[in-house]
Amino acid sequence: MRATLMHKARDVRLETVADAEIILPTDAVIRITRACICGSDLWPYNDGPNRAGQAMGHEAIGIVEAVGSAVERLRPGQLVIMPFAYSDGQCLFCEEGLQTACIHGGFFGNGGEAGGAQAEALRVPLADGTLYPLDTAPDEALMPGLLSLSDVMGTGHHAAVCARVTPGASVAVVGDGAVGLCGVIAAKRLGAEQIIVMGRHAGRTELARELGATDVVAERGAEAVEKIRSLTGGFGVKAVLECVGTEQAIATSLAIVRSGGAIGRVGVPHYEALPETRLAFYRNLTISGGPAPVRAYIEELLPDVLSGRIEPGRVFDRTLALDDVAEGYRLMNERQSLKVLVRP
Amino acid sequence: MRATLMHKARDVRLETVADAEIILPTDAVIRITRACICGSDLWPYNDGPNRAGQAMGHEAIGIVEAVGSAVERLRPGQLVIMPFAYSDGQCLFCEEGLQTACIHGGFFGNGGEAGGAQAEALRVPLADGTLYPLDTAPDEALMPGLLSLSDVMGTGHHAAVCARVTPGASVAVVGDGAVGLCGVIAAKRLGAEQIIVMGRHAGRTELARELGATDVVAERGAEAVEKIRSLTGGFGVKAVLECVGTEQAIATSLAIVRSGGAIGRVGVPHYEALPETRLAFYRNLTISGGPAPVRAYIEELLPDVLSGRIEPGRVFDRTLALDDVAEGYRLMNERQSLKVLVRP
């Protein structure tokens, strides 16, 4: 079968590898029908992979092809959503809905122990706990939205949950990437009244407005802080969705949140320490977030995707064949594409 | 009148000062009937005050002596609880119950703009929003408990709220000082099942057990972390109440909280940055806390103090006359007293 491997920075290739197969009784093998490229895949694309030849991709929907002897809840032929982390569905953390902390779990693609989803097929460990089967065969037009539940939409939702977005809240979304845009969708869905998106890519901020953003702040640094204060009566926003992960992004987040507010961070942090901790204390800020337990969120978000109430599939602005996956990386890295959907 | 002034480190004196009087129409003057010394008063006692001659004390109950012309909700003769921060009771933040972020507010004693409560009387700014009047005249034995609502009990409760203590939770309380002990009371009151107090002062940890602690960990550093993991099935606790404020205390807190857990910090941080931010991210930790909005919490905690369901007054293990306030500082600083109550 063919799969996407990252050999070194900027060297990502579709190659022929051994077919995915059942190894453990709890495994399933799925045929990937839709996969995509994540903003986090661009870190190894620029800085090099965890190890040479690392299998890439952690977001997919697919069809179950085979199940191990211990798999009880899945059967061949089912359409499934594959979260970016695998999980047993039974441990303390899974029961609490934090599948990304599963005692026996792990991650797909560059982050992790399992294979990559930018491929024709994939072995899924702990299949019963990991895969979310869909009983119906949804319309083709809904596939991008369903695919988004494997990571990007669940991650935007996690940012909003961690930032404690409530009805009527003022919200800022730091970052106009696909996660940021899903953060806009999530904030609107949770009833936020003011949703300020921070970004300077006109196409993306325009889409953000269509998805629910009420204001766009293209400024950065001190000017951005000033602008957001002026948009919020001088106080800053109640909730910040930090969807970037850089030191500047977290510093901006801390500067634009008002006393008693919360920052939900879902951008993988590329900084060591959280700055301004005394200020955060005196202002009673809450800092939360991490890898989203998207498996838990599918249940909540799926009906809204199926009904069309939310349209996270709109973050995919380009569809490529699996053959062209390397071109997809290039397009996203050069910000010519917001998020690339890949069809094996 | 007489009031406690801090001139320099270790130099705290009861002196005669100008009588407290109404300056603004929103002021009240209260005669202090009970005040106390806070662990945070020991920072200036050791390191020197914000300014020489700083008035000390921010916790009190008292009797209203006079009110300004704009005061509507108070009348002379009323018994009142005085939170450690003053607040207008009307702004955005006060309405949300975060009076310690009041737009027009400030702090009593060494921290702040207003006078000190370790005195015979005190001018209270924004009296309507600040003071909590009691309609009944409670039993004398309840006075220490009522006094604790001006800071220490509300602060312990804030730690538990910020750490998201829920029924059945496993909780660790970092620190066996008066705030830590009130944290134990708060955690138990909120239904925690396992309450581990970290401290090595036998008298205090014994009291912690009486107040609801299920386990005591006297170890520090790596040994303490190991011990707490062994007490919690290897995972750590769901909620940490950080009641110290040192770099070691926050580092320990981050090490003993389990994935998806929360740290409520109420110890004024004597460190600049929050360490291990990537680890905190990957483990989906929540870090929250700050100066407790005790004004908001009085409403919730008062019935339990009046009924005797909680006994936060037990953290006072010594009562001194105001004349002996300097001796009170010495006793607390040498850890001969847990918390000193001062009677003018």
Query: How many of the other CB atoms lie within 10 Å of CB of B151?
Result: 29
Structural domain containing residue B130: 2-151+293-343
Query: How many of the other CB atoms lie within 10 Å of CB of A272?
Result: 12
Same domain, A309 and A191: no
Give the end of a domain, one of A267, A289, A311.
Answer: A289
Classify A265 as helix, strand or coil.
Answer: strand
pLDDT at B254: 95
Say if residue B304's pLDDT is above 90: yes
Same domain, B315 and B198: no
- In DSSP notation, B133-154 reads EESS---GGGHHHHHHTTTHHH
Which residue matches tokens 């019935």? B303
Chain A environment of B293 (Cβ under 8 Å):
284
- Whether A286 sits inside 8 A of B291 (CB atoms) is no
- Whether A287 sits inside 8 A of B288 (CB atoms) is yes
Same domain, B237 and B107: no
Is the CB of residue B255 less than 8 Å from the CB of residue B225? yes
pTM score of the predicted model: 0.96
Nearest to B198 by CA among B215, B223, B179: B215
* Average pLDDT for B147-175: 98
- Which residues of chain A register pLDDT less than 50? none
Is the CB of residue A3 less than 8 Å from the CB of residue A118? yes
Same domain, A53 and A159: no
Nearest to B293 by CA among B63, B118, B91: B91
Same domain, B184 and B124: no
Chain A environment of B277 (Cβ under 8 Å):
269, 271-274
Q: Does the CB of A234 have a partner CB in chain B at under 8 Å?
A: no
Q: What is the pLDDT of residues A99-115, one digit of tens each?
A: 999 999 999 998 788 99
Q: What is the CATH number of the domain that holds B233?
A: 3.40.50.720
Same domain, A230 and A279: yes
Cα–Cα dist B266/A210, whole Å: 42
pLDDT at A272: 83
pLDDT band for position B111 (50/70/90)? confident
Query: How many of the other CB atoms lie within 10 Å of CB of A48?
Result: 16
Among chain A residues, the shortest Cα distance to B164 is held by A286
Q: Does the CB of A264 have a partner CB in chain B at under 8 Å?
A: no
- In DSSP notation, A165-178 reads --TT-EEEEE--SH
Classify A330 as helix, strand or coil.
Answer: helix
- Whether A277 sits inside 8 A of B291 (CB atoms) is no
Same domain, A158 and A194: yes
Give the end of a domain, one of A289, A315, A331.
Answer: A289
Nearest to A49 by CA among A15, A7, A90: A7
pLDDT at B276: 78
Nearest to B156 by CA among B192, B132, B193: B192
- Whether B282 sits inside 8 A of A291 (CB atoms) is yes
Look at chain B and report how many structural domains it folds into.
2
Nearest to B291 by CA among B159, B165, B96: B159
Which residues 6+ apart lie within 8 Å of A209 measured at CB? Answer: A197, A216
Q: What is the pLDDT of residues A255-273, one digit of tens each?
A: 999 999 999 999 889 888 8
Classify A238 as helix, strand or coil.
Answer: strand
Same domain, A6 and A147: yes
pLDDT at B87: 98
Q: Does the CB of B168 have a partner CB in chain A at under 8 Å?
A: no
Same domain, A260 and A273: yes
Among chain B residues, the shortest Cα distance to A288 is held by B286
Chain A environment of B275 (Cβ under 8 Å):
272-273
- Whether B281 sits inside 8 A of A272 (CB atoms) is no
Cα–Cα dist B243/B177, whole Å: 8
Cα–Cα dist B208/B212, whole Å: 6
Same domain, A181 and A191: yes
Q: What is the pLDDT of residues B165-213, one digit of tens each?
A: 999 999 999 999 999 999 999 999 999 999 999 999 999 999 999 999 9
pLDDT at A268: 87
Nearest to A55 by CA among A122, A3, A130, A18: A3
Classify A207 as helix, strand or coil.
Answer: helix
Among chain B residues, the shortest Cα distance to A247 is held by B277
Chain B environment of A275 (Cβ under 8 Å):
272-273
Kind of pairing, strands A340-343 and A318-321? parallel
Say if residue B85's pLDDT is above 80: yes
Q: B133: which strand partners?
A: B80
pLDDT at B277: 82
Cα–Cα dist A263/A256, whole Å: 10
- In DSSP notation, A286-306 reads EEEE-S--HHHHHHHHHHHHH
Mean pLDDT for all residues in chain B = 96
Q: Does the CB of A168 have a partner CB in chain B at under 8 Å?
A: no
How far away is chain A from the Cα of B285, in angstroms, using its nearest Cα? 6
Q: Give the whole-number percent of chain B exceeding pLDDT 90.
A: 93
Same domain, A273 and A335: no
pLDDT at B75: 97
Say if residue B137's pLDDT is above 90: no
Q: Does the CB of B54 have a partner CB in chain A at under 8 Å?
A: no
pLDDT at A271: 87
* Average pLDDT for B33-49: 95
Give how far Cα A62 sits from Cα of A123, A126, A152, A166, B108, Å.
Answer: 11, 16, 17, 34, 63
- Whether B291 sits inside 8 A of A278 (CB atoms) is no
Give how far Cα A50 sits from Cα of A56, A110, A125, A231, B275, Å.
Answer: 11, 7, 20, 42, 24
pLDDT at B272: 82
Q: What is the pLDDT of residues B218-257, one digit of tens each?
A: 998 899 999 999 999 999 999 999 999 999 999 999 999 9
pLDDT band for position B135 (50/70/90)? confident
Cα–Cα dist B167/B224, whole Å: 25
Cα–Cα dist B42/B113, whole Å: 19
Which residues 6+ apart lie within 8 Å of A214 measured at CB? Answer: A193, A194, A195, A196
Cα–Cα dist B218/A285, whole Å: 30
Chain A environment of B288 (Cβ under 8 Å):
262, 284-288
Helix, strand, coil shares, percent, chain A, to 5: 35, 25, 40
Say if residue B130's pLDDT is above 90: yes
* Average pLDDT for B313-329: 98
Give how far Cα B107 sits from Cα of B83, B101, B117, Å.
Answer: 9, 10, 11
DSSP letter at B246? S
Nearest to B263 by CA among B284, B290, B287: B287
pLDDT at A303: 97
Q: What is the CATH number of the domain that holds A113?
A: 3.90.180.10
Same domain, B199 and B127: no
